[in-house]
Chains A and B, each alone.
Chain A
Amino acid sequence: MQDDAIVALYWQRDESAIRETQDKYGHYLTKIAYNILSDLEDSMESVNDTYLHAWNSMPPHRPSILSTYLAKITRRVSIDIFRRHNRQKRQASQYTLSLDELNDCLSNGNTTEQTADSKLLAQAISSYLRSLPEEARTLFISRYFFLDSLKEAAALCHMSESKAKSMLHRTRQGLQTHLRKEGFLL
């Protein structure tokens, strides 16, 4: 079923919308959730919550790209579940690994902590990503939005893991400079 038709089902409050979403995007969303949670049952819970969020948010939302819309919900829900489950104990997952890597983009601890508006920050990151060559952009989004493992991200860009690692390092350094220039880091 086409995405438009699935969105129309949500708008008609037809419950088959969830079944169609599950059929088309079930394993796609589970993969994203699993990258963050490293646990199949938690991932299933996250994906089910995604369907619920989608049901509650359409209407009023009418996403133009349903897969991206759902991926964002799954990512957010999974991160929330992860934070809830791991307040005391941090377990290894692509999410924690990517968090550690992203330290490069943050201040070194000597600067004033600044509360950033997430939307403005997202816009700044988007504009930085647009300035990158396609390969670097794809690698970065694969690693830090989809939370793919380094191996998977490298395979997606048809490059070795070591090359991907150094390219990601340079991209993170570039992002740090960009965020500093935009005033998000002092």
Chain B
Amino acid sequence: MTQEQLQDALGMIDDDLIESVDKLRQETESSTMSDRIFHSFRKKIIQREIIKWGSLAASICLLVGVGFLWTVGGSKTAEDAANMDNHYSNQEHFEDTYIEADQNKKPESAVPTTTGPETSPQETLPSGVTIPYPTLSVSNKETSFDADFHQIYWFFTDAEGMTMWITSESIHPLDREDRLVRLKTTLPLLTLQFHNAPGNPKDITVRYWDESCWNDHSAEFQTMTVEDGQIHLLEGGYIYEIVVQWGPNQGTMSYCFYADYSPK
């Protein structure tokens, strides 16, 4: 008997034996599925995109350079310099955008925010592929904002009808002290609303850390429950992570934000 004969025979063992293990695997699949598949997939997509956009950018640069030399002759005018100044001025304005309960007032403690993952998976996808992975909108009577992504692990169907998946993991919420979306509020309840979601989530877990845990990887998180789609904020500043599962055939997402609740 050879190794291969034995492997072939193992592929023909009784169905009920396989089924009992299969059930167990499916129950634990979302937490134990190997990351290497997803990393491999993501790496390939990123490589493809870098090549595509890199060659496109190089071509455009070449064309613009040749055109510029042809028409202007290489001299920089005062008007060009003014345009450049405006450009930098606009960038500064963009970086000063905040999300706060009071949209018009910049609080002393406010920190610039991000409104998406460090690397948006949408940006790394081949053209024509869109993933309707769910976003989380967090709101109360004072404000509404989109929570940052932390982990994305999502199955989707591509333009050719193939089942594909995407995964992305941003840096840990506790490492995002300067970049995490921040909320300062006087209201204790926050409503969670999912957009582009394929029905109701199967499970929602809310993890939180006290703000003294910033940059402390060893800090243990606490958990709280979601009731009627709402979470009850703790008094003071906390980092919240919302881990949402839509089932093994759909995926798991996790979102994070910082909220500082102080009652009036």
Contacts and interface: CB of A to CB of B under 8 A. Distances in A.
Interface of A: 19, 22-24, 26-28, 30-31, 34, 40, 44, 64-65, 67-69, 71-72, 75-76, 79, 83, 95, 98-99, 102-103, 105-107, 113-116, 118-119, 121-122, 125-126, 129-130, 137-138, 141-142, 144-146, 148-149, 152, 155-156, 179, 184-185
Contacts of A114: 1
Interface of A is mostly: helix
Contacts of B24: 138, 142, 156
A40 B41 contact: yes
Contacts of B20: 138
Nearest to B5: A116
B19 interface: yes
Contacts of A155: 28, 32
A68 B18 CA distance: 7
B21 A67 contact: no
Given A145-B21, A146-B25, A27 B163 contact: yes
A125 B11 CA distance: 10
Interface residues of B, number: 41
Nearest to A41: B44
A103 B40 CA distance: 30
Given A22-B163, A130-B17, A76 B3 contact: no
A23 B163 contact: yes
Nearest to A124: B9
Interface string B6-22: 11111111111111111
A44 B37 CA distance: 12
25 contacts: A22-B162, A22-B163, A24-B249, A27-B165, A28-B26, A28-B29, A34-B34, A34-B37, A68-B22, A71-B22, A72-B11, A95-B7, A99-B3, A113-B1, A113-B2, A116-B1, A116-B5, A121-B5, A122-B9, A129-B17, A130-B17, A141-B18, A145-B10, A146-B21, A156-B24
Given A65-B19, A79-B11, A40 B1 contact: no
Contacts of A105: 6
A27 B37 CA distance: 11
B12 A119 contact: yes
B155 interface: yes
